[in-house]
Amino acid sequence: MPSLSYVAAVNRALRDEMARDERVCVLGEDVSQGITGLTKGLADVYGTGRVVDMPLSEQAFTSLATGAAIAGQRPVVEFQIPSLLYLVFEQIANQAHKFSLMTGGQASVPVTYLFPGSGSRSGMAGQHSDHPYSLLAHVGVKTAVPATPSDAYGLLLSAIREPDPVAVFAPTLLMGASEEIDDGDLAAVPLGSARVCREGTDVTVVAVGHLVPIALQVAAALAGEASIEVIDPRTVYPVDWETLGKSITRTGRLVVIDDSNRMCGFGSEIAATAVEEFGLTVPPMRLSRPDGAVIPYALNLDHALLPDAGGLVGAIRAVLR
Amino acid sequence: MRLIREFEEHCLEKALAGTIVGGIHPYIGQEAVAVGVSAHLRADDVITSTHRGHGHVLAKGADPKRALAELYGASTGLNRGRGGSMHAADVGLGIYGANGIVGAGAPIAVGAAWAARRAGHDDRVAVAFFGDGALSQGVVLEAFNMAALWSLPVLFVCENNGYATSLPVDRGLAGDPVRRAAGFGLTAAAVDGMDVEAVAEAAGQAVAACRTGAGPHFLECATYRFHGHHTVEHLMGTKYRDDDEVAGARARDPLTRQRARLAPEAADEVDAEIAALIAEAEAFASSSPGSDPRDALDYLYAGTVPARPGA
């Protein structure tokens, strides 16, 4: 079976949607060259009128996309590093996201924000290592963190077709990942639909992005000890509460592992809702970065702050005790 | 201009009385800018506006009844009571909204112009209105750069009313606005923003040039607001301009100047027509139903997301 890489899947989704819908265009820095790999070759096919290199003006081109979307285009904006979200938070949270409600539904803003290389990049230090998807979930911007190439393809397709703004975070540690899949099997993945990656009966592990394969490895390694269900929410907003709720209610135990900072992070929300609504038999556990973490340069310090397999094993054992 | 003036006088009264919640940013004194520019705009042209947006919205053709209803929070309002004064919009008329963040509309206007070109509407123009304070916002300068790079049909209209809230322009802005815009490659000019015919003349040339592909233009309109930045200033007694300065500006009232150019009968006719429109708007707005609090988050998304309650 042919192999599809994560980067190729994103590229394929952009290519397919641009072929399907003339209104889809790609805006961002270095996109005609495809420096991140995601947009490579698109300018050769669709021209630099649709794959548009932007000046280093993130705030202006984020809102340019808003104006273009209101006027009928379907822009995909690529940001070279996830920390640029802090620079354009006004344009996404305060302008694009609020436009539909503030105008009483006169128009929506169908822009897709693409954040490749999100999370620690090993040695890229404080300003290139954040994984800020929880911020957008908090604001209410639809936000996907695909964990596999086929999900990257399918979620990006849905994001582009969605009438509202949607952010898609591509985790650094997955950019090199591959999956055995036929191109013909690629399909849109609805926003707000979780994937049960492994079925189990003793504990539910909810994992996001690059932590999904780690959770699956841990579940396999502990198979003799416990039956672990692994769920990938795929979109951190909206959350598929139905799928999560069924699993957590059945197992009665929950561990959430995500690469947010702990305070007000995605894991906090899953844990709180589980406590309120899903009948846990023991308190939930969260694995995340520390409160307010800034990733240091030295690799051992960088890795020390990230949730990992060892921590997950400990948390699973703790809720099983 | 008379419609904007009377609408705003009415709103001022209602804001101070508390009927309009949140107060307003009065445009009174600046009417010549919105009217002079909008005289050259078609329904399919796009504008983005400021906090002080009533004048732009009305000049671009929004229904005064629905504009007032919006300020009353009614479901019949332009934005179904979700936007109020600072976000009034009529997207169907190309009005992409007043905006609560200074300068935020400029790149949105650039996006609308870029989209129009992509869609083959080469003669469609986008106008970004903003104040002198917005010239200190990086995003506005980024928008200048992008519009000039791609020679987009955008008219940037700087309404220099002399104050960014309470900060005098010479304490907030280095250099000269026209030279600043020209530095980005925009065709830039200054005009007396208290004279509607002067604004219309300059804007007419700029809009026509934009339509024929001459690239972005910048127009600095020297104007003045007769009232405070926001109606809260009335309540707080804030004072940062001396009475002589305000009186001097009032002596150059664009409505008085334009009236002198009209036959008295024609001016009286306009007055009567506007008085009837305002009375009609008040009757419509004050008798319009409010919204159901259970529907407060309607329109948050165009696609379906069931929002969980906060409590």
pLDDT digits (tens, 9 = 90+) for A174-227: 999 999 998 788 999 999 999 999 999 999 999 999 999 999 999 999 999 999
Q: Is the pLDDT of residue B251 over 90?
A: yes
Distance CA B158, CA B140 (A): 11
The CA radius of gyration of chain A, in Å to the nearest whole number, is 19
Q: pLDDT tens across A249-284, in order? A: 999 999 999 999 999 999 999 999 999 999 999 999
Q: pLDDT tens across B190-228, in order? A: 999 999 999 999 999 999 999 999 999 999 999 999 999
Q: pLDDT tens across B59-101, in order? A: 999 999 999 999 999 999 999 999 999 999 999 999 999 999 9
A50-56 long-range CB contacts below 8 Å, 24 or more apart? A50/A18, A50/A24, A50/A25, A50/A26, A50/B118, A51/A25, A51/A26, A52/A25, A52/A26, A52/A27, A52/A28, A53/A28, A53/A29, A54/A27, A54/A28, A54/A29, A54/B146, A55/B142, A55/B145, A55/B146, A55/B149, A56/A29
Q: Which residues of A touch B118 (CB under 8 A)?
A: 25, 49-50, 68, 73
Q: What is the pLDDT of residue A184?
A: 84
Q: How far apart are the first and last CA of chain A?
A: 42
Q: How many Cα atoms occupy the beta-carbon half-sphere of B136 within 13 Å?
A: 14
- Quote the DSSP letter at residue B167: E
Size of interface A-B (CB pairs under 8 A): 154
Q: What is the pLDDT of residue B307?
A: 66
| A55 and B CB contact within 8 Å | yes
Closest-CA residue of B relative to A107 is B91
Q: What average pLDDT does the segment A104-126 reach?
A: 95
Q: What is the pLDDT of residue B236?
A: 83
Alpha carbon A18 to chain centroid distance? 22
Q: What is the ipTM of this complex?
A: 0.94
Beta bridge partners of A121: none
Q: Which residues of B touch A25 (CB under 8 A)?
A: 118
Residues 132-191 of A with CB under 8 A from B: 140, 142, 162-164, 191
Q: Which of A190, A220, A193 is nearest to A205 (CA)?
A: A220
Q: Contact B116/A71, CB-based, under 8 Å?
A: yes
Q: Is the pLDDT of residue B306 over 70?
A: no
SS3 A60: helix
Distance CA B212, CA B224 (A): 32
Residue of A50, A60, A105 lying closest to B107 (CB–CB): A60
Q: What is the pLDDT of residue B232?
A: 87
Query: What's the pLDDT band for B310 if we cut at 50, 70, 90?
Result: confident
Cα–Cα distances (Å) from A27 to A53, A72, A74, A88, A302, in that order, read: 6, 15, 10, 14, 31
Kindly report whether the peptide bond that precedes residue B254 is cis, defined as omega within 30 degrees of 0.
no
Q: Contact A67/B46, CB-based, under 8 Å?
A: yes
Q: What is the pLDDT of residue A1?
A: 79
Q: Which residues of A touch B149 (CB under 8 A)?
A: 55
Q: Supply the residues of A annotated as catalytic.
A: 128
Q: Is the pLDDT of residue A52 over 80?
A: yes
Q: Contact A66/B115, CB-based, under 8 Å?
A: no
Task: For the full predicted model, state whether its pTM sits above 0.90.
Answer: yes
Beta bridge partners of A27: A52, A77
DSSP string covering B71-90: HTT-TTSTTTTSS-GGG--B
Distance CA B113, CA B119 (A): 10
Query: What's the pLDDT band for B246 if we cut at 50, 70, 90?
Result: very high
Q: What is the pLDDT of residue B213?
A: 95
Q: What is the pLDDT of residue B112?
A: 98
Strand ranges for chain A from DSSP E:
3-5, 24-28, 51-53, 74-78, 112-118, 142-144, 166-171, 178-180, 195-198, 203-207, 228-232, 235-237, 254-261, 285-289
Distance CA A263, CA B145 (A): 39
CA distance, residue B285 to nearest chain A CA (Å): 17
Q: Which residues of B touch A50 (CB under 8 A)?
A: 118
Q: Which residues of B touch A67 (CB under 8 A)?
A: 46, 48, 96, 107-115, 126
Q: What is the pLDDT of residue B233?
A: 87
Q: pLDDT tens across B170-189, in order? A: 999 999 999 999 999 999 99
Q: Contact B107/A142, CB-based, under 8 Å?
A: no
Residue of B79, B112, B139 lying closest to A70 (CB–CB): B112
- Quote the DSSP letter at residue A184: G
Q: Contact A108/B82, CB-based, under 8 Å?
A: no
Q: What is the pLDDT of residue B97?
A: 95
- List, in order, residues 6 or more apart from A4 with CB less than 8 Å away: A12, A149, A150, A153, A178, A179, A180, A181, A183, A186
Q: Contact B91/A55, CB-based, under 8 Å?
A: no
SS3 A230: strand
Distance CA A253, CA A281 (A): 6
Are the beta carbons of A280 and A252 closer than 8 angstroms? Answer: yes
Q: How far apart are the first and last CA of chain B?
A: 47
Q: Contact B91/A107, CB-based, under 8 Å?
A: yes
Q: What percent of chain A has pLDDT over 90?
A: 97
Best residue of B57, B75, B301 to probe chain A, by most A CBs closer than 10 Å:
B301
- Quote the DSSP letter at residue A94: I
Q: pLDDT tens across B271-281, in order? A: 999 999 999 99
| A240 and B CB contact within 8 Å | no
Q: Which of B14, B52, B10 is nearest to B164 (CA)?
A: B52
Q: Return the higher-pLDDT residue of B237 and A59.
A: A59
Q: Which residues of B touch A167 (CB under 8 A)?
A: none
Summary mean pLDDT of chain A = 97
Closest-CA residue of B relative to A238 is B305
What is the amino acid identity at position A157?
Answer: L
Q: Contact A67/B107, CB-based, under 8 Å?
A: yes
Q: Is the pLDDT of residue B304 over 90?
A: no
Q: Which residues of A touch B104 (CB under 8 A)?
A: 63, 90-91, 94-95
Residues 105-134 of A with CB under 8 A from B: 105-108, 110
CA distance, residue B154 to nearest chain A CA (Å): 12
The tokens describing A255, both together, are 């561990």
CA distance, residue A212 to nearest chain B CA (Å): 25
Q: What is the pLDDT of residue B136?
A: 97
Q: What is the pLDDT of residue B308?
A: 75
Q: Contact B302/A164, CB-based, under 8 Å?
A: yes
Distance CA B128, CA B99 (A): 11
Q: What average pLDDT does the segment A293-307 reach?
A: 96
Q: What is the pLDDT of residue B309?
A: 74
Q: Which residues of B touch A60 (CB under 8 A)?
A: 106-107, 110, 139, 142-143, 145-146
Q: pLDDT tens across A122-165, in order? A: 899 999 999 999 999 999 999 999 999 999 999 999 999 999 99
The tokens describing A160, both together, are 């582009």
